Amino acid sequence: MVKINIGADYTLLTKLKQEIVSARQKAYQTANRQLVELYFNIGRSIYEKVEISKWGEGIIEKLSSDLQREFPDMRGLSSQNLWRMKQIYESYKDNEKLSPLVRELSWTNNIIILHNTKTIEEKEFYIKTCLNEQWSKRELERQVESSLYERYMLSRKTDKLVPHTKEKDKTTLFKDEYLLDFLGLKDNFSEKDLQKAIIANLKQFFLEFGKHFTFVGEEYKVIVGGQDFKVDLLFFHRVLKCLVAVELKIGEFKPEYIGKMQFYLTGLDEQNKLKDENPSVGLILCKSKNDEVVRVAISRALSPMKIAIYRTKIIDRKLLKKKLHSLPIPENYRE
């Protein structure tokens, strides 16, 4: 009788599955890059004809009709899409930094960014963030609709208030403000309500916080001196390679929150941190905060931590843009 090594077979199956998924992903990325490259080149040709030869809209429609007749199995050759190709090329033709990145995005995501942004800085923000976070169409649409760019830029104005050491630089991966509109909370909610709503909506929560988070537990026990202390939410960040303790507050930030978070982080580092992991990081989510109070409170913190605010309702994008445009743009807005 032949003895089968089930463990070895399972290991082989897992390895082959990973290789197949990786190969498929690479094939998709290659095909997408070639398609966007093709559209970019078509856009260049149309741009040159329209701007130099002064082609009119009617000729573009005729070109579209001819191309669709020659390539009936190829989608994306409508006159509307041909004009989009021209717009994409026109938007990035003189930008050596963004032009290659555009080719890494899906055509759909390129169109979303094209139609929902005005400045090249805003386009750059969404292109780079989309690539880093590997957003799908739905994820990108949500971030644009929630005014991520405006919220991010407005948060940059407070960076100079908080001194950064090498350790505290870890917190730059966290936002200054989070939008939790998907929780569906009523006006009057408790910290427990907020915690339970986040647990019930973890998938949406990760879309807002980033895909590099992995959920570890809620009300996670930290035992010190025989006593139980509980961290509201505990995550692991794959890029930072460390535990992230999250404390939820329904009011304004208070300085004493720093001491409590420092206690949790020390406990986690002593009891839970593995040898190859980095020191734990803290994230305190409050309904509001005073930047000057935050600056003084966090200036002597021994562990890296971030004080951020959250909103449970979307703010009108026009109001955010108006507020943003009234402020000087920091030169170091790019990460």
Query: Which residues are paired to 286 by β-bridges?
Result: 309
Please indicate, yes or no, whether residues 214 and 296 belong to a single structural domain of this protein. yes
Please indicate, yes or no, whether residues 37 and 166 belong to a single structural domain of this protein. no
Query: Which residues are paired to 228 by β-bridges?
Result: 223
Residue 31's pLDDT is 84
For residues 106 and 130, give the distance between their C-alpha atoms in angstroms, rounded to a whole number.
10
For residues 91 and 65, give the distance between their C-alpha atoms in angstroms, rounded to a whole number.
25
Could you say which of 103, 121, 150 is where a domain stops? 150
Please indicate, yes or no, whether residues 207 and 70 belong to a single structural domain of this protein. no
Question: In this structure, what token pair is assigned to residue 182?
Answer: 């998907």
Strands annotated E in the chain: 177-179, 213-224, 227-237, 242-248, 281-286, 305-311
Please indicate, yes or no, whether residues 164 and 145 belong to a single structural domain of this protein. no
In Å, what is the CA distance from 334 to each residue of 7, 156, 230, 321?
A: 48, 10, 36, 18
Range of 205's domain?
160-325
For residues 170 and 239, give the distance between their C-alpha atoms in angstroms, rounded to a whole number.
10
Q: Domain count for the chain, please give it.
A: 2
For residues 251 and 11, give the distance between their C-alpha atoms in angstroms, rounded to a whole number.
50
Predicted TM-score (pTM) of this structure:
0.65
Could you say which of 150, 168, 187 is where a domain stops? 150
Does a structural domain hold residue 332?
A: no
Q: What is the pLDDT of residues 291-319, one digit of tens each?
A: 899 999 998 888 899 999 998 887 666 66
Does a structural domain hold residue 2?
A: no
Q: What is the pLDDT of residues 221-270, one digit of tens each?
A: 999 988 999 999 999 998 899 999 999 999 999 999 999 999 999 999 99
Per-residue pLDDT of the chain (335 residues; tens, 9 = 90+): 545 454 556 677 888 888 888 888 788 778 888 999 999 999 999 998 888 777 777 788 899 999 999 998 888 899 999 999 999 999 999 899 999 999 999 999 999 999 999 899 999 999 999 998 888 898 899 888 888 888 778 766 544 333 333 444 567 778 888 889 888 888 789 999 999 999 999 988 887 887 788 999 999 999 998 899 999 999 999 889 999 999 999 999 999 999 999 999 999 999 999 999 999 999 999 999 998 999 999 988 888 999 999 988 876 666 666 666 665 554 444 44
Q: How far is CA 227 from the centre of its chain?
A: 37
Could you say which of 126, 150, 174 is where a domain stops? 150
